[in-house]
Structure 1
Amino acid sequence: MAHHLEGRDNVVTLHTLGKALGGSGALICGARVLIDFLVNRCRPFIFATAPSPLMAVAGQEALAILEDEPWRQAALQERVALFGAEMGRRLPQVPLSGSQIVPLIVGPDAATMALAAQVQARGLDVRGIRPPTVPEGTSRLRVSLTLNASEAEVIRLAEVLEELWPDL
């Protein structure tokens, strides 16, 4: 029954519902015959990891908002570009990810956590990430750009990082 799918790309896709969609979990999309196969052959996995009804509804609503309000994605990409331009001008030696989740690698754990505390003391919610979440020696700040931050706040974050960035 699935022979018509042979050789095609992206027959099954996995989509996370965390971070940008504000929930948790994931969903798998594919042809009905493949989804039916997964439901019938992976029952123990499905029932052991099924999302709560609340997360399922939250994911469904988040997807509807994305479809109905495409301006949100465009506005977020503008924030990402603004942060990239500001950081490129102020701290060109710091590589950027180009996405709304921006890991800024500092290196040593203590320096990372001290920098995170200083940035937070200035009223900016930037978290330090250290081992075991990341490899030893690659501790980083995690900047999560959202539409909750104004353009002025994005610029202010770059200014604060420029001022506080450690000389390691």
Structure 2
Amino acid sequence: MKQWLDEQLSQRRAQHLYRSRRELQSAQAPEVTIDGQNFLAFCSNDYLGLANHPQVVEAFVAAAKHYGVGSGASHLVCGHSREHHALEQELAAFTGRDRTLLFSTGFMANLGVINALVGAGDSIFEDKLNHASLLDGGLSSGAKFQRFLHNDVAQLERKLAAAEAQKKLVVVDGVFSMDGDLAPVHELARICDQHRAWLMVDDAHGFGVLGKNGGGVAEHFNLNQDQLPVLMGTLGKSFGTFGAFIAGSDALIETLIQLARTYIYTTALPPAVAAASRVSLQLLQTEHWRREKLRALIQRFRAGVEQLGLPLMASSTPIQPIMVGDAETALAWSSQLAAQGILVTAIRPPTVAAGSARLRVTLSAAHTEAQVDRLLDALSQLVRKTDCAE
């Protein structure tokens, strides 16, 4: 066993795909302390800057004093607190759905829902760039698993038309986590209706960011519960907390309570996390300036990168990937930025396809224009060094 493990690790290092953890020693914020060094960070998914918001922290502390730290059990035993229940009701109202159901993580939500809805004899269709949790959910379900080219609605429609299964489930990300672009959810909803297929959208990176009120892709495309029957969102990104939820009809939620193994057989989120998430939800809906500032920072960054001539991917979201190509170069660029006190993660295979390694820049409403300009200046120096080396 040791020989095989050592070979795997050596191979990863040789291919520049070895992953290492860094130790965060401060709260999530634009300026962080990692491994004893101070960095300006552009790699967090805290898009609205709520992870360390005083009101969110205060709600967490107050609830922890009342409920304790752990929930103690699964939701169906004795772990479903008043805070959990209130959050589910408020999320339902926010999303315009009948009900929502909390899960401990987004990965568990996706696995649980897909496996509860489809199985042997059914068909599931997924975008090639879907998140790993969606792909794993589809593969483990036992349903006939088919992938279609990224955002290729025509190819999906052909596959749906050829499918003979009674139950057909189409699953996509609302905002693709490594590219930052949107799925054409309005078109997907149309063809799913025509082919009697169910549509599920993982809107982990859309909630809080898209839509006038932060309602994500459903609000952005104005899709109701019938058009988009299975809507998933996470709390660990724009909400700044932790966990995930599924929003949909009363019948869907009741079915998941009965059948979703990753809901039934796991400990509930700590009540304090639910309490903090309720405050985040209020801030998300009332402090519209956060989305406005975020959009302005995105435009500022894109304009600056385009002037530098760097290959920026097409994205209007806080996820702004700079395409590098090979993993070795992506690591080198990330290291050069780190040497200037700027933290940007190099994304490499298998997270992305071979030959498409990138610097994944993520912006937050907590960033300032001066901080974005500092990143642009560092990228400019990187470009000059690269030109000189060539």
TM-score normalised over the length of structure 1: 0.82
Identity of aligned residues (%): 34
Assess if the C-alpha contact under 8 Å between 2:240 and 2:280 holds in 1.
yes
Inter-CA distance 87–49: structure 2 relative to 1 (3 Å threshold): farther
Match of 1:146 among 351, 364, 367: 364
Of 8-17 and 106-115, the range deviating more from structure 2: 8-17
Does residue 46 in structure 1 map to residue 263 in structure 2?
yes
Inter-CA distance 156–51: structure 2 relative to 1 (3 Å threshold): farther
Structure 1 residue 148 displacement after superposition: 2.7
Does residue 135 in structure 1 map to residue 337 in structure 2?
no
Structure 2 residue runs of 5 or longer lacking an equivalent are 1-192, 194-225
Match of 1:109 among 319, 327, 333: 327
Aligned to 2:336: 118
Aligned to 1:3: none
What is the rounded CA distance, in whole Å, between the counterparts of 2:353 and 2:241 in structure 1?
Answer: 26
Structure 1 residue 28 displacement after superposition: 0.9
Does residue 85 in structure 1 map to residue 298 in structure 2?
no
Which residue identity does 1:56 align to in structure 2? A
TM-score normalised over the length of structure 2: 0.38
Q: Aligned runs of 1:56-71 on 2, under 5 Å?
A: 56-71=274-289
Segments of 4+ in structure 1 off by > 6 A? none
Assess if the C-alpha contact under 8 Å between 1:25 and 1:51 holds in 2.
no
What is the rounded CA distance, in whole Å, between the counterparts of 1:103 and 1:92 in structure 2?
Answer: 10
What is the rounded CA distance, in whole Å, between the counterparts of 1:45 and 1:93 in structure 2?
Answer: 40
Aligned to 2:378: 160
Aligned to 2:247: 29
Inter-CA distance 99–50: structure 2 relative to 1 (3 Å threshold): farther
What is the rounded CA distance, in whole Å, between the counterparts of 1:29 and 1:45 in structure 2?
Answer: 16
CA-to-aligned-CA distance 1:20-46 (integer Å, 9 cap, x gap): 22233321112223212221232x221
Inter-CA distance 93–126: structure 2 relative to 1 (3 Å threshold): closer
Aligned to 1:75: 293
Task: For CA contacts below 8 A with separation 6 or more, give which structure has more relative contact order.
Answer: 2
Which residue identity does 2:304 align to in structure 1? E
Structure 1 residue runs of 5 or longer lacking an equivalent are 1-6
Which residue identity does 2:325 align to in structure 1? G
Inter-CA distance 24–137: structure 2 relative to 1 (3 Å threshold): farther
Of 130-139 and 106-115, the range deviating more from structure 2: 130-139
CA-to-aligned-CA distance 1:69-103 (integer Å, 9 cap, x gap): 11111111111111111112222643342211111
Inter-CA distance 48–61: structure 2 relative to 1 (3 Å threshold): farther
CA-to-aligned-CA distance 1:81-133 (integer Å, 9 cap, x gap): 11111112222643342211111111111111111111111122211122222
What is the rounded CA distance, in whole Å, between the counterparts of 1:50 and 1:72 in structure 2?
Answer: 33
Aligned to 2:161: none
| Superposed CA RMSD | 2.2
Inter-CA distance 91–58: structure 2 relative to 1 (3 Å threshold): farther
Does residue 9 in structure 1 map to residue 227 in structure 2?
yes
1:9 partner SS: coil
Higher helix share: 1
Assess if the C-alpha contact under 8 Å between 1:102 and 1:142 holds in 2.
yes
Assess if the C-alpha contact under 8 Å between 1:96 and 1:104 holds in 2.
no
What is the rounded CA distance, in whole Å, between the counterparts of 1:96 and 1:152 in structure 2?
Answer: 24
Assess if the C-alpha contact under 8 Å between 2:311 and 2:323 holds in 1.
no
Inter-CA distance 95–101: structure 2 relative to 1 (3 Å threshold): closer
Of 108-117 and 50-59, the range deviating more from structure 2: 50-59
Aligned length: 161
